[in-house]
Structure 1
Amino acid sequence: MSVPVLLIAFNRPDLAEKTLMRMIEANPSKIYFAVDGARIDKPEELAKVKQVRNLTSLIPTSIPYEVRFSDTNHGCREGVSSAITWFFSKEESGIILEDDCFPDLSFFPFCEELLIKYKDDHQIGMISGDNFFRNKIHLKDSYFYSTYFHIWGWATWRRAWNGYQSTGIQHEELYSVLSKKFFFKRQILKWYNWINGSSSGKVDTWDHQWTFHNWKENRISIMPNVNLISNIGFRSDGTHTIDENSQLANLDLDSIPFPLVHPKKRKLKFLYHIFVEVNYYPNKIYQLVFNLILNYLEFKSSLLILINGNKGEKF
């Protein structure tokens, strides 16, 4: 594979090892390995962080690698975002995985092909490996376009990351961007609170700011028609993913077939966005109605396959 990969890890050596070994299996052009420092008030982390860093011994001599091991702890917001900035100071494009985002092997050539295809297409902000529909909706195309940006295994370009701000997002600009993006006030307020909370440090994360950066630049993302990433980090030692019973925990992996079937038209899938809306803004009535729609579409697709071997309709 001609694409470099970045692995971002911290204090969970078992997860980091599993994801690193999958990276090695994909044989990237180079591995970048970023590990944050242990927290001062948690001295027991020192040994775990050292275990994670020692995983470099598993990287074969045939794959070059660089490390970024922090002496201090920067947290999720600065630790992750600064690692990505470091990565793109050295590479024009690449794949990014956090230690708990375990990919199907086909995720790597999927990203590689699309990184090349959309290299100079400034409307595309990133390529995601996530599909949260659990195979209930089937597409003939290998991927679809979305206005949302899921980062459990993803790829992008330096040209897209440039200008990203983890902090300092101004209230007026934030509200202006969101007001153009959403019609309903509940959507505007929800995203305003998320992005402002992350930017101000009330919430220790970096990804809401990445979504805002792409919206500000009027970009969309690419998502696969099957799920290529399983988040294996839903457990008690997680930072944000601690609910082991979450419907997004440990999702089944699927492989994407090659050659890829590229969409003929660049349009957003309305039904997919309704699904995302329901999950971003939970409401029991909305979820009930949407699940009924999903079940109907699943039945319809199964019936088509039974009758004439059709692999599914476009929705």
Structure 2
Amino acid sequence: MNAPIVLFGFKRARELSLTLDALKANYLAPETNLYVFVDAAKKPEDEPKVKEVHKLLDELTGFKSIYRDYAKSNIGCADSIIRGISYVLDRHSSAIMVEDDLITSPNFLDYMNQCLDYYKDKPKAYSIAGYTFPFKKPESYAYDAYFIPRHSPWGWATWADRWKSIDWSVADFDEFIKDKSRQAAFMEGGADLVRMLRRQIEGEIDAWDIRYGYSQFKAGGITVYPTVSKVQNIGFGQDATHTDIFNRYKTALDDGQKRTFDLPDVVQNTEYYKRKNIQQYSFATRFYNRLKTYAGMR
């Protein structure tokens, strides 16, 4: 049985429409149950935008079934996502998550379901990413997926047992932040991770994914990524989280022709891709991308 899709919306009807069109174009969409969660407006001026999203979703078809949950009051980004995924994973053994600023390839659901089935009994595989940077695949690399120690929230999937193990309070943060060796180990997934976790704990950001990634790290888990991206992020514009910055996440979206994937059997970090990922999240690369923003590049 195909894993359900958990879709999150808020106030961006235009982006959501593009996301829905791409999801409906997936080969497995008619055979897949869809759960939709929409947070309520935080400010009065956002209410018409949220109602526009409701109207779009009320008219939606193209899936095996559609469950709609429209919040009555504003929950907030992180809590809304945690609530929605928890609801679905209380009822299903796995799920595929999509937010309202993602374009998926036609074979996105094929890839996700095959990975969910293939790695369900391999607990070191903690999550499945749909997005990847456009890293050049080595000619000697035979697989359609690779592993690195960084969680990705852009079109992703997991299993109920992994999700229910997450400590959302990050109860051991004070101990962690004093341990330089553990911090260094966590940053094998990227030099930005410790800072993001600290900002979450200090209330500077409202993020669920850094907490998921930290719990994944503590459990010794890693994430499986596709060698060709099944997701493109379009959330770099008006009303977007990443408004008016250089989009360093542009990638080559899979053409969707391939529907059966060669997956690595051993769940361990893929050193070539791990090195490439560390380069992408290095301080030097992030500073260079900031300069591109200042130069007006988008």
Residue 77 to residue 200, structure 1, CA distance change in 2 (3 Å)? farther
In structure 2, the partner of 1:291 is: none
TM norm structure 2: 0.84
TM norm structure 1: 0.80
In structure 2, the partner of 1:56 is: 57
In structure 2, the partner of 1:294 is: none
Does the residue aligned with 2:86 lie in a helix, a strand or coil? helix
Q: Which amino acid aligns with 2:197?
A: I
Separation in 2, partners of 1:187, 1:69: 35
Q: Which amino acid aligns with 2:126?
A: G
In structure 1, the partner of 2:39 is: 36
Does the CA contact (< 8 Å) of 1:3 and 1:28 recur in 2?
Answer: no
Deviation at residue 190 of structure 1 after TM alignment: 4.7
Separation in 1, partners of 2:173, 2:154: 28
Does the CA contact (< 8 Å) of 2:149 and 2:189 recur in 1?
Answer: no
Residue 51 to residue 165, structure 1, CA distance change in 2 (3 Å)? farther
Deviation at residue 214 of structure 1 after TM alignment: 0.4
Deviation at residue 136 of structure 1 after TM alignment: 6.0
Indicate the larger mover: 162-171 or 142-151. Answer: 162-171
In structure 2, the partner of 1:23 is: 23
Does the CA contact (< 8 Å) of 2:39 and 2:80 recur in 1?
Answer: yes
Does the CA contact (< 8 Å) of 1:166 and 1:199 recur in 2?
Answer: no
In structure 2, the partner of 1:161 is: 163
Does the residue aligned with 1:182 lie in a helix, a strand or coil? helix
Does the residue aligned with 1:203 lie in a helix, a strand or coil? coil
Separation in 2, partners of 1:160, 1:178: 26
Deviation at residue 244 of structure 1 after TM alignment: 4.8
Q: Which amino acid aligns with 1:8?
A: F
In structure 2, the partner of 1:309 is: none
Deviation at residue 13 of structure 1 after TM alignment: 0.6
Q: Residue deviations 1:134-172, cap 9 Å, x none?
A: 546554201011111112101111111003233343324
Query: Alpha carbon RMSD of aligned pairs, Å?
Result: 2.9
Deviation at residue 189 of structure 1 after TM alignment: 8.3
Q: How many residues of Structure 1 are paired with residues of Structure 2 in the alignment?
A: 283
Deviation at residue 101 of structure 1 after TM alignment: 1.3
Separation in 1, partners of 2:259, 2:279: 31
Separation in 1, partners of 2:225, 2:187: 27
In structure 1, the partner of 2:201 is: 199
What percentage of aligned pairs have identical amino acids? 24
Q: Counterparts of 1:80-229 in structure 2 under 5 Å? A: 80-135=81-136, 137=138, 139-175=141-177, 179-180=181-182, 182=184, 190-229=192-231
Separation in 1, partners of 2:216, 2:286: 31
Deviation at residue 38 of structure 1 after TM alignment: 0.2
Separation in 2, partners of 1:113, 1:177: 38
Q: Which amino acid aligns with 1:115?
A: L
Separation in 1, partners of 2:286, 2:195: 23
Does the CA contact (< 8 Å) of 2:170 and 2:211 recur in 1?
Answer: no
Does the CA contact (< 8 Å) of 2:128 and 2:225 recur in 1?
Answer: yes
